Each structure stands twice: as structure tokens, then as C-alpha cells.
Structure 1
Amino acid sequence: MNYRKDFIPRNTAHSRRPGNAMNATTITIHNTGNASSSAANERAWLTNPSNTRTASFHIVVDEREALECIPLNENAWHAGDGSGAKSGNRTSIGIEICESGNYAKTLDNAAGLVAQMLKERGWGVDRLRRHYDWSGKVCPRLMYDGGKWTGWAEFKAKVSAKLNESKGSEKSVKKDVIVSVKVGGKKIGEGVVDDGVTYVPVRVVAEALGACVTWDGANNAVQIEKGAK
């Protein structure tokens, strides 16, 4: 999915980009409420002269792309709960999920984007909010399911799976750290640090310390005898 920034101007009508500094603590999910609108359409709506609403959002996602319309360190008017210091409007990043086109693909794009944002911030899915959580509005409406919110639970599960997948992938490509092994200040070989555990060649170290190393094949054991030759 393509991600691009296309910020609306600071002087956009109806204070849609007020410019208040924000240190977000949550991410709020919305549906656009428009079955035929793309991410680009939603971005254009923010600066359309015929639009008289004081409402905005940070990011909008569709089946092809995600557009960041307001910097994530500024607030937007998306939560419907006023401008108090602890309001969703002043503490949460608002993400609009488009309803047009291939909605399953759009949801997958949104889940991947949200998982990446959580990972970057060291957050878990407990940091996710619905528009509903702030103001009681039935939004994201396509996740409502008659009040059961099964779609919301499924979305959070999808985000969680992608978050865990990215963590697992990151761990699998983690490179071992090579370290020098020294005895009495003299380098005798190299070891490897893997996940906090240091592995060294036992024979090289033992013999450098004057011990004898033998292999007990019957018991799959290494035997070290100090002072033996």
C-alpha cells in the first residue's frame, strides 16, 4: 500500500487544521460513512469550499493508498467529544477507513497500517479506540453488527496478528553478535551472543586454561578435567 502525506493548509476553513500540538496516546478508528468515496476524495472533501463542517481526521485509507492529511503531532476534530485536554480530539490519532471498492482489501491495509503505527510507538491493541468510545456515535459503522461490534473485535484481532507477525519476523532476522574470547588478555577465538546468551568454543577456552577436553559419545557429554593433558 502506498502511504503519502498531503497536508491540508493551516488556514483551511472551519478550523479543520487548528494546529494544536498533540502527544497522542491512542488511535481512533472510523468508517467514512460514504460507500462511493476514495481516500483521495476524502482528502479533497476537507478543502472543498462547499463543506461547512468543523470536522477532520489525520489519515484516510482505501484499497490502494493511505493519505496523511494532518500531521500526527497536531490534533484533528474527529472524536465528537469537544476540545478538553483529555478528549479524543486532543489525544488520539483519527484514521478513516473508506467503504468503497474492495472493502476487505481496505480493511487489510488499515490493519497493516495500524499495526505498524502501534509497533513504532511500542503500543498494543489496547491503545485502539472506536469513534463510539469517545462520543457514542455508531462508528466505525461497518463494524457495529447491531450492537455486537463483532467487526471491531475482528479488526483488533487482525491488527494483533499483524503486530505479532512483524515482531516475529524482526526476531527471525536478528543478527548474532560476534565477540572476542580472551584468556589472560590474549585473544584465543570468537564467540556468539544470541538472545542474551554468549556461546564460546569450549575446547579452545578449556585448553587455554590448562584443562583437557574429551567427548563422551555414549552419553553425549563433554568432559573437562582441570590440569589433565
Structure 2
Amino acid sequence: MGKFKEKYQITPKYLSKPSKRRSGIKMTKVRFIVAHDTGNKNSTAIGNIGYYQNSRNDMSASAHIFLDDKGIWECIPALTGTPEKAWHVLYEKPNDNAMYGYEANNCAIAVEYCYGDNINANEAYKRYVWVLAYICFKFGLNPSKDIVGHHILDPQRKSDPKSGLAHSGRTYEQLLIDVVKEYEDCTKEEEDEMDKITVMVNGKRMENGLLDSRAGITYVPVRAVSEALGARVQWDSKTNTVRIEKR
């Protein structure tokens, strides 16, 4: 497995177990992700987790991850520990089985998006997109197919995450597109730093295979230059440059 760009930290803040909200039962596999919003405008990630903890023996509804503009917290292990079950979609709803062949509570990670007038929507949204993409990477999921909104699994009762996203003029459809883009960006292999060198051709700098006489240092991969020019490459350790002699 390659690397994933770690833009944000995921902080564990686990609920006590055993309790109604956190049974401690391990998931047999992670097959998909359910995208939620809290449905509680202006509530923060830490605030929601605190409420879950205080009511852990009163109610069973739960989720793995809460996020807002300040951070990403995990109250039931998924990314920061061995994944455990959370209770976030009613068992009698059929769409999760029809789409993925599994119950959401058994094999899906639940991610809760916090929104409201006191939450920076742009910062919260960036964390939402990133953590959904990261879960896909972590468990080998397809970001274009293996994320589903709660509103699709329980359309008679739920509108999340559409309702939360709409608060800042965003749509569920755009969320899915942005997660795919984020996944591609965060898994894109960065060019090896050892392959980045300053290239000079006839006293001029070379950029992306083109001669460039502008000032400043330009970096290009030496292999690409060599192959493109069919040239002889010589390394000058004193000036930290590669000089190319055309054949």
C-alpha cells in the first residue's frame, strides 16, 4: 500500500465500554462508509461526543467519528484502533444490504459532520472530505462507490448529510466528487526529492522540457530530461546542478 497525505490529525476520544452506545463488539470487516450530519445545528464535535458519553447507558444511537472546523475526533474505534460496531442505521432498513450486501451497523464506518453559524463551514468541509477519502484508503474502498448518505439508506426518516451540507450551499453530489478528488490528490506519488535537480542547457535553465531564461531555480526530473534530449548528463557537486551536453 502506498502513502496517504496526512493533512489532519484524528484524535481518539473513546466512549466508555461496555455501554449502549459502545458495545465493544468488533467489526468483521469494513465494507463501506455512511456519511451523516449531526442534525443538531451549532453543536460541535466535542460537544456531541460529550453528550454521547453522558448518555451512553440511556440510548444506543452512535457513530465512529465527529468532525468540525477545529478537528476530527473518534469516539468509537475505526481508524485509531481496531474497528468496532456503531449503531447508526436502523437494522430493518433494506438499502444497505441491497447496495453492499451487509448491514451498515456491522460493516460501515459512520462519519458525522458538524455544521452551524458558529462553525467555519469551509474548514469543517475540508476535514469531512479528507477523512472520508482517508477511510477509503485505509480499508481499500472505492471512493466513487463505497460512500453512501444516511438519507439514501433511510429516505423516509433522514436527510443527512444533505441538510448539513446545504447550510453552506453545498450538495451531497458535490461531496462525493470532492472525496474522489481528495483521494486522488492524497495518494498521488510525490516526485522523489533525489530526482529533483536544476538543469542547465547552454547556460539557460530548463523547465518541463523547455528552455527558460527567467531567473530563479527550476526543478525537473533528470531522467525525463535525459530521455527527452538523448543527452549526456553530468553532475556538478560544487554548483549542485546537472549539466546536459547534447549529443
Give the alignment's TM-score, normalised by structure 1: 0.67
What one-letter code is carried by the residue in structure 2 that aligns with 1:31?
D
Change (3 A) 1:55 1:171: same
For residues 84 and 92 of structure 2, what CA distance do their matches in structure 1 show? 15
Q: Is the 8 A contact 1:81 1:134 kept in 2?
A: no
What is the total number of aligned residue pairs between the two structures? 183
Sequence identity percentage: 23
C-alpha displacement at 1:144, in angstroms?
7.7
C-alpha displacement at 1:139, in angstroms?
1.6
For residues 172 and 7 of structure 1, what CA distance do their matches in structure 2 show? 38
Q: Is the 8 A contact 1:3 1:65 kept in 2?
A: yes
Aligned partner of 2:15 in structure 1 is: 8
Change (3 A) 1:50 1:17: closer
For residues 49 and 167 of structure 1, what CA distance do their matches in structure 2 show? 39
Cα offsets for 1:119-171 (capped at 9, x unmatched): 233322111011123222222142686xxxx7111111111111111222x24
Aligned partner of 1:88 in structure 2 is: 104
Change (3 A) 1:20 1:134: farther
Q: Does 1:70 align with 2:90?
A: no
Aligned partner of 1:119 in structure 2 is: 137
Tell me which of 179, 182, 187 is aligned to 1:162. 182
C-alpha displacement at 1:24, in angstroms?
1.1
Larger Rg: 1
CA RMSD, aligned part only?
3.5
Q: Is the 8 A contact 2:30 2:139 kept in 1?
A: no
Q: Is the 8 A contact 1:39 1:98 kept in 2?
A: yes
What one-letter code is carried by the residue in structure 2 that aligns with 1:10?
K
Give the alignment's TM-score, normalised by structure 2: 0.63
For residues 22 and 92 of structure 2, what CA distance do their matches in structure 1 show? 15
Q: Is the 8 A contact 1:76 1:89 kept in 2?
A: yes
| Mapping of residues 1-229 of structure 1, within 5 Å | 1-12=8-19, 15-22=20-27, 23-49=29-55, 52-72=58-78, 73-82=83-92, 86-100=102-116, 101-125=119-143, 126-136=145-155, 137-142=158-163, 151-168=171-188, 170-173=189-192
Q: Is the 8 A contact 2:86 2:105 kept in 1?
A: yes
Change (3 A) 1:174 1:27: farther
Change (3 A) 1:104 1:175: same
For residues 193 and 109 of structure 2, what CA distance do their matches in structure 1 show? 31
Q: Secondary structure at the match of 2:54?
A: coil
Q: Secondary structure at the match of 1:9?
A: coil
For residues 160 and 194 of structure 2, what CA distance do their matches in structure 1 show? 43
Higher strand share: 1
Change (3 A) 1:121 1:175: farther
For residues 76 and 33 of structure 2, what CA distance do their matches in structure 1 show? 14
Q: Secondary structure at the match of 1:93?
A: strand
